[in-house]
């Protein structure tokens, strides 16, 4: 009974882990996301191919790079999961989608838009100044606007720069981490994903496994590709315990049956001598 309870509990947890996952935050507004690990190779060629698809309204490249905000007392402000804030180009705000709650988009390289949660942590408003660390150290930026997504990000803060400043801060020769695909109004989501997958396969060929095409709940995999999924950790843990409990149950039951059979060998031999059938012997043992 103990083994049965353990196996059942592990099966319930395993089923729960199959449904567990982190929702998409930055990419929640995209219908399909093509993500790279860590970058999308030949991103401009891929964008050109995707823009030509009949179901695609437009594509939006996503630049993401670590940045750290410093508050008025000089302390760094960590993201909710003890990580850095992430800098982006303002163009990619449509993938959230982030909409301006106040202020305007960054008009120059020394202006930024903060998400509402980070602005609250920094006690910063439109027209104020924030300090952010980047590739060239600590710099001051003017807050031109405060933006909000449909649901508040639980795992990251977002800082939006002008496209040129984001390109400079990304530093890499291939800074595009993902491409968000926005569908036309009447486009079928399934058809759109198949078109994107075909375009990816045609462009990359055998190397198409280097990018991930995701839609629906899978968009979180493209967004948090470098963060272990709690579902994968839970499934491997409960799978191990479930297999162990089944092994112990089989071992205990087989040992329990062996003992009474061994103790009745004389009786079994006598029954065989009087022509007892195998089925009769099994019933006698059970």
Measure the CA–CA gap between 281 and 211, rounded to whole angstroms: 63
- Per-residue confidence (pLDDT) for residue 10, from 0 to 100: 76
Whole-number percent of the chain with pLDDT over 70: 86
By CB neighbour count within 10 A (0-12 exposed, 13-18 middle, 19+ buried), where does 178 fall?
buried
Query: Does 175 share its domain with 267?
Result: no
Say what the alpha-carbon torsion angle 170, 174, 177, 179 is, to the nearest 10 degrees. 120
Indicate whether 211 belongs to any domain: yes
Give the pLDDT of residue 73.
84
User: Over the stretch 153-170, which tens digit does the pLDDT of each residue have?
Assistant: 656 788 999 999 998 888
Q: Residue 143 gets which letter from DSSP?
A: E
Question: What pLDDT score does 285 carry?
Answer: 62
* Total domains, the chain: 2
Q: Are residues 51 and 156 in the same domain?
A: yes
25 part of a folded domain: no
What is the number of H-type helices and E-type strands within the chain? 9, 12
Of the residues 228, 253, 276, the one at which a domain ends: 228
The count of C-alpha atoms lying within 13 angstroms of the C-alpha of 195, restricted to the half-sphere facing its C-beta, is 19
Are 157 and 261 in a shared domain?
A: no
To the nearest whole number, what is the mean pLDDT of the chain? Answer: 82
- 77 and 117 both lie in a single domain: yes
pLDDT at 227 over 60: no
Assess whether 188 and 127 both reside in one domain. Answer: yes
**Any domain includes 215:** yes
Query: How many angstroms separate the CA atoms of 223 and 25, rounded?
Result: 8
Range of the domain at 110: 32-228
Pick from 71-85, 101-115, 150-164, 174-188 the range whose average pLDDT is largest. Answer: 101-115
Model-level pTM?
0.70
- Indicate whether 235 belongs to any domain: no
| Cβ atoms of residues 88 and 62 within 8 Å | yes
């Amino acid at each position: 009974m103990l083994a049965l309870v353990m196996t059942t509990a592990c099966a319930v947890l395993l089923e729960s882990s199959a449904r567990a996952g982190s929702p998409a935050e930055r990419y929640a507004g995209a219908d399909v996301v093509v993500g790279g690990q860590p970058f999308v190779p030949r991103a401009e060629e891929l964008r050109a191919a995707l823009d030509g698809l009949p179901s695609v309204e437009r594509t939006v490249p996503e630049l993401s790079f670590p940045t750290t905000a410093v508050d008025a007392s000089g302390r760094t402000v960590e993201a909710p999961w003890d990580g850095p804030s992430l800098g982006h180009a303002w163009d990619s705000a449509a993938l959230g989608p982030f909409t301006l709650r106040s202020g305007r988009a960054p008009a120059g390289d020394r202006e930024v838009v903060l998400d509402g949660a980070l602005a609250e942590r920094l006690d910063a408003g439109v027209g104020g100044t924030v300090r952010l660390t980047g590739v060239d150290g600590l710099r001051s930026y003017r807050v031109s606007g405060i933006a909000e997504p449909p649901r508040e990000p639980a795992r990251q803060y977002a800082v939006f720069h002008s496209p040129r400043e984001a390109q400079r801060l990304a530093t890499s020769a291939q800074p595009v981490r993902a491409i968000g695909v926005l569908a036309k109004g009447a486009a079928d989501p399934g058809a759109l994903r198949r078109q994107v997958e075909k375009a990816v396969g045609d462009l990359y060929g055998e190397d198409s496994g280097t990018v991930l095409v995701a839609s629906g709940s899978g968009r979180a995999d493209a967004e948090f590709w470098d963060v272990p999924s709690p579902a994968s950790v839970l499934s491997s843990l409960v799978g191990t315990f479930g297999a162990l409990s089944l092994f112990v149950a089989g071992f205990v039951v087989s040992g329990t049956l062996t003992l009474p059979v061994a103790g009745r060998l004389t009786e079994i031999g006598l029954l065989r001598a009087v022509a007892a059938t195998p089925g009769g012997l099994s019933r006698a043992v059970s």
